[in-house]
Amino acid sequence: MTIIRRYWIHVVLILASITFVGPFIWMFLTSLKTYEETIQVPIVWLPEQIQWVNYQIVNEKFPFLTLYFNTVAVVLATVVLQLLIASLAAFAFARLQFPGKNALFIIMLSLLMVPGQIFLIPQFQIIGVRFNLIDTLTALVVPNVFSVFGVFLLRQFFAAIPQELEDAAKIDGCSSLRIYWQIMMPLVTPGLVALGILTMISSWKELLWPLIVNQSIDKMPLSAGLANLIGEHTTYHEQVMAGAVISVLPMIIIFAFFQRKFVESIAQTGIKG
């Protein structure tokens, strides 16, 4: 009985794995073929000769290096600034008393429910037109450093720190700023890591805002740049797939190394608190 059950679980999971990974394998195989092989009917599964040259061609046609540089710069700046700003506020909401705290908290809570596109037109007017930041990397970072979600996530971590620790520090004459930075920040590291990873994933995937605010390709992140790749060069399937491989491989490698951390961070979003 259990053996049959186990057997079925394997069958289902193998099918599921093929469904999820198969497309990527097909992407990789296509990227190694010649154009003639990609349009052969019926399908040829493997290239006769591996065409690494496709990667070279697509890399020459398309500024992957710039796009990667932009993406890394934007993601890093977003993560660092967001962690700092969110942790400051989370500390205040978890640990300090001030008039109007509940009202401000409710404002934040309601912002969390509002769909993002509500803000886009005014944000474009403010950041793009008023501050004249169209076609800059700064424009890609600015709206994302103010994260209400981040405050909610980190607040739980700050709130979980025992009161005695704070009291002892106060008796020693520590200011709030030192309590925040020197005592509490090290203790909420798991929360910071989780938020950092989540922000990294969402900043890495973001598409709509970069499309709106930046038009020239040398100021685009990879996500929006690839959208241009679709528009311009779709004839050569093997080159498009080589481009796709270039754009997914680094993240998959990072994921392979830090899978546990990634999974824990994504799981954090599901904990109610």
Partner 1 sequence: MKRFRAGLSGYLFIAPLFSGLLLLYVYAFVQNIFYGFNDVGVFGERTFVGLENYSELFQDPIFIRSLINTFFYAGLGVPLVVVISVCLAWLLNQKIKGQALYRTAVFIPAITLPAAIGLLWRWLYNSQYGLINFLISKLGFEPKAWISDPDIVRWSILIVLVWSSVSYMVIILLAGLQRISSVYYDAAQIDGANTRQIFFKITLPLLSPTIFFVAIVSMIGFLQVFDVIFLMIRDGSVAYQYASSLVTYFYEAAFAQNLRGYGAAISVISLILIFAITFMQFRLQKRWVHYD
CA distance 199 to 155: 16
Smallest gap from residue 72 Cβ to partner 1 (A): 14
Report the Cα–Cα distance between both ends of the chain, in Å, rounded. Answer: 41
Smallest gap from residue 56 Cβ to partner 1 (A): 19
Other Cβ atoms less than 10 A from the Cβ of 197: the count is: 20
Smallest gap from residue 76 Cβ to partner 1 (A): 17
CA distance 238 to 38: 7
CA distance 45 to 37: 9
Select 162 or 270, whichever has its Cβ closest to partner 1: 270
Select 50 or 101, whichever has its Cβ closest to partner 1: 101
Smallest gap from residue 40 Cβ to partner 1 (A): 8
Select 182 or 259, whichever has its Cβ closest to partner 1: 259
CA distance 222 to 67: 5
Q: How many residues does the chain have?
A: 273
Select 117 or 189, whichever has its Cβ closest to partner 1: 117
CA distance 221 to 204: 8
Smallest gap from residue 255 Cβ to partner 1 (A): 5
Select 165 or 208, whichever has its Cβ closest to partner 1: 208
155 near 108, Cβ under 8 Å? no
CA distance 136 to 138: 5
